A and B are shown apart, each in its own frame.
Chain A
Amino acid sequence: MKIAMRQWLTRGMGMVGGVCCFLLVFMLALPGVAPAQEKYPAKPINFIIGYPAGGTTDICARPLVSAAAKILGQPVVVVNKPGGGSAVAVALLKTEKSDGYTIGILPSGAVLSQHMRKVPYDSAKDFTPIMQYAVYLYGMVVQTDSPWKTFKEFIDYAKANPGKIRYATAGPGTPQHLVMERLAIQEKIKWTHVPFEGGGPAVSALLGGHVEVISQTTEWKKHVESGRLRLLAVYGEKRMPDFPNAPTLLELGYNITAPSLISIIGPKGLSPQVVDTLHGAFKKAMDDPDFIKAGNQMDQPFLYRGPKDLEKHLVQMNDEVGTLIRNLGLRKE
């Protein structure tokens, strides 16, 4: 036994030791093994996005996050947690430690969701607001070879054929879902909502002909430009600069616009220093040319609100959409 052991030590130890050391070093380079109690941020920060990679939210947030990471001097790791129109990600964020190492995006979808059904968070109370940086633009899109050339033709068809139209969105409780529900009430339409986990899969479903229409943020842009899809209407207060021919719902005679918000939040109880550091970094990151380019490409207008303003805005937005949804009777238990 002894001899065998010594033999092994002399012959194999170098190689095996090398391999083991290599693996060990590799494993120790993990996130989170860094010692605590240092200047914030002392280790990588997780950044939760409630929509899948490749959607408007994700494409625009990534350059912002990497610019902020350079300013913070620590990696900021994007984690996509799609589901429930971002409500899953926001619910998970609520349960995270408020040490500033996990933050994420609060989009309008997660705010509206809490008024349309039961979710395990309150967006006005359960989080620490950090910064708003943008709003969404939305539109209603069909296939180019579909029979509907205009919004009116489409609505007329939907009214005449109850239950025939199926529309896809990035999730229940999103503003684009709410707009469809409001149209349905106003025009007495019966149509079916098919929620996907993000805008990309929703667009794929339309391209594959599995649904008739999508009501969605700008994931459809390049397909509309290439002529494969047709934009019928947009939900903002003004027309979109890149698509001047598509009317707003206001112009079409509906008193409907989609509420919109993309903001960064952390779990409740982040210390003021942490909020300051993060807010400073992300505000500066808004000047990053890659971020500006992504925002322009995806038609995601920038809109800045600091922590205090955002806090007020969240309370106000919850009040407004809460009242609206209650009055429309759209809350489902």
Chain B
Amino acid sequence: MDYWQSIILGFQVALQWNNLLFCFIGVLIGTLVGVLPGLGPVAAISLLLPTTFHVTPVSAIIMLAGIYYGAMYGGSTTSILVNIPGEAASVVTCLDGYQMARRGRAGPALGISAFASFIAGTIGVVGLMLIAPPLAEMALKFGPPEYFSLMIMGLTILTFLASGPMWKALLMAAFGLFLGSIGLDNMTASARFTLDIVELSDGVGMVPAVMGLFGIAEVLLNVEHSIKRSVFETRIHHLLPTLRDWRDSLGSILRGTFIGFFLGVLPGGGAVISSFVSYAVEKKVSRTPGQFGTGVIQGVAGPEAANNAATGGAFIPLLTLGIPANSVMAILLGAMMVHGMQPGPMLVQEQPGLFWGAVTSMYIGNVMLLILNLPLIGLWVRILKVPYPILFPLILLFCLIGAYSLNNSVVGVLIMVGFGLLGYLFKKFEYEAAPLILALVLGPMLEAALRRSLLLSAGSPLIFITRPISGLLMLISFFLLAYPLVPWLRRKRAILPQATDEE
């Protein structure tokens, strides 16, 4: 495998002016939604998906990916300055970031989180480049049973790591699987659960569902209790971390990168979880764990590195197996299919320009983000002051236009509004929407893999256990499911803090 040639090809694609422009738009929007609390990358990407129909597939993927990792950068700003996470993966950054800002060290906090994000983001992309092509080779070993078991494991991990009791998350995943079965049967084309509504024969659209569950529900919830924001009015100075800051945080950044990348690769893992794990690890390796929560720079650097590295890792199962690791990747999968690309083992070989172009654009995007985030922090702070009475109606408007324009049909709008109300109730009763979304997307794939596996084995479910890769994946899922039943283990799981909003 000639990496250099591929990388040069990638840069040739990524450095075309229109791709540079889309990369910039992507990271700009990403930073914007990252900065603004209540708007996450999931909602932003699903909102902007229809707008990419006119551009080339490469540009579309570059822009949508830019939104995703851009949001990881932007989220920290809000956490540090306002003590409200801009998006879910920045929840832990609040703990020490805000304390640093209160002690007058907002500058170094913002600086180190930008640098940590940059370093981790870049290493994550390198990892993606090195691991994805050989993994795609190996992916031919993945037949229907392996796909089935991998998707089961992904759903199990997600429900396992969700906040709140596991049965709630499992319930949501099951509901998502049911929603995924609405529409025409994928093998025989007979209608299921469509209630004779023509628009439902294509299934419940993922985009209106996501916009409802995340966009509309978030607005409804925020209207209920207005977020109090006290943005630091003082000038932010000393953005560049000192030598001592660097010495303190370099280890954290590297550890965070490692954790983030590998948790990102796992289906069901992702940015949110890895930031929590990284914080826990930093606290554990620190000589002064008691200081955490009072403004320790490691507590900012580690998680910020982790959530950015996770974005690189999360692309691996999508680009090599065609399986989305989290809800953002699920939407990207939809986007790629809209553009006529089938992510999977053949993607690297058949569309090298697209694959390497998208990957190298992430390098460029990371540089752009560093530039956007350091000198322009003042600008983002100002955006934070947009009054919600102006912001929320705008979000609603965009959601409505977006849902309608998908098929020019009111049914899409109704589905979105329905999911908006549902999402509001879910939040109220503390049910997480993430397992639902992933299950909705995986559902049809899961079903096809199950049916094909059983055809291969002439009806015997043992095929999932006797094939080694599939058996191993099933074993992991089994342990995760059995975990909460063992009392002393249950306590450990409860330590994982609340979050996983957007993932």
Contact = CB atoms under 8 A, between A and B. Distances in A.
Given A32-B405, A210-B143, 7 more contacts: A30-B53, A44-B54, A54-B342, A83-B186, A88-B186, A113-B189, A192-B458
A297 B405 CA distance: 37
Contacts of B141: 208
A81 B51 CA distance: 20
Given A27-B51, A77-B53, A205-B143, A210 B188 contact: no
Interface string A105-122: 000000001000111100
B227 interface: no
Given A12-B386, A80-B337, A211 B401 contact: no
A87 interface: yes
A175 interface: no
12 contacts: A16-B383, A19-B32, A23-B398, A80-B342, A81-B202, A88-B186, A88-B189, A95-B201, A166-B456, A171-B187, A192-B458, A210-B143
Interface in B180-216: 184-191, 198-199, 201-202
Interface of B: 32, 48, 50-51, 53-54, 140-144, 184-191, 198-199, 201-202, 337-338, 340-342, 344-346, 350, 379, 382-383, 385-387, 390, 394, 398, 401-402, 405, 408, 448, 452, 455-456, 458
A29 B48 CA distance: 11
A51 B390 CA distance: 44
B402 to A, nearest CB: 7
A58 B339 CA distance: 12
Interface string A1-33: 000010010011001100110010011111111
B346 A204 contact: yes
Contact of A87 (B189, B199, B452): B189
Contacts, number: 143
A27 B379 CA distance: 24
Contacts of B386: 8, 12, 16
Interface in A38-67: 44, 52-54, 58, 62
A236 interface: no
A163 interface: yes
A32 B350 contact: no
A120 B379 contact: no
Contacts of B385: 8, 11-12
A172 B350 CA distance: 26
A275 B502 CA distance: 46
Nearest to B145: A210
Contacts of A113: 189
Contacts of B379: 15
Given A12-B383, A58-B340, A95-B201, A33 B405 contact: yes
A195 B186 CA distance: 10
A90 B345 CA distance: 28
A233 B13 CA distance: 41
A240 interface: no
A120 B346 contact: no
Contacts of B198: 95
Contact of B455 (A23, A27, A194): A194
B448 to A, nearest CB: 7
Contact of B184 (A52, A58, A84, A194): A84
Nearest to B455: A194
Interface of A: 5, 8, 11-12, 15-16, 19-20, 23, 26-33, 44, 52-54, 58, 62, 75, 77-81, 83-84, 87-88, 90-92, 95, 113, 117-120, 163, 166, 171-172, 192-198, 200-201, 204-205, 207-211
Given A80-B337, A92-B184, A12 B346 contact: no
B340 A210 contact: no
A30 B53 CA distance: 8
A15 B144 CA distance: 51
Q: Which 7 A-B pairs have the closest CB atoms?
A: A210-B143, A84-B189, A87-B189, A208-B140, A30-B405, A53-B340, A95-B198
B337 A31 contact: no
Contacts of A200: 342, 344, 346
A172 B187 contact: yes
A201 B191 CA distance: 24
A26 B189 CA distance: 36
A200 B345 CA distance: 10
B474 to A, nearest CB: 17
Contacts of A32: 405, 408
B184 A117 contact: no
Contact of B53 (A20, A31, A88, A95): A31
Contacts of A166: 455-456
B81 to A, nearest CB: 15
A216 B101 CA distance: 64
A194 B187 CA distance: 10
Contacts of B189: 83-84, 87-88, 90-91, 113, 119-120
A221 to B, nearest CB: 13
B184 A83 contact: yes
Contacts of A120: 184, 189-191, 201
Given A15-B379, A83-B186, A204-B140, A27 B458 contact: no
B452 A194 contact: yes
B346 A54 contact: yes
Which residue of B143, B187, B189, B455 has the most chain A CB atoms within 10 A of its CB atom? B189
Contact of A53 (B187, B202, B341, B394): B341
Contacts of B143: 205, 208-210
B342 A53 contact: yes
A291 to B, nearest CB: 16
A8 B387 contact: yes
A188 to B, nearest CB: 18
Given A15-B379, A84-B184, A120-B191, A78 B340 contact: yes
Nearest to A119: B189
A30 B401 contact: yes
A63 to B, nearest CB: 12
B64 to A, nearest CB: 13
B50 A30 contact: yes
A329 to B, nearest CB: 19
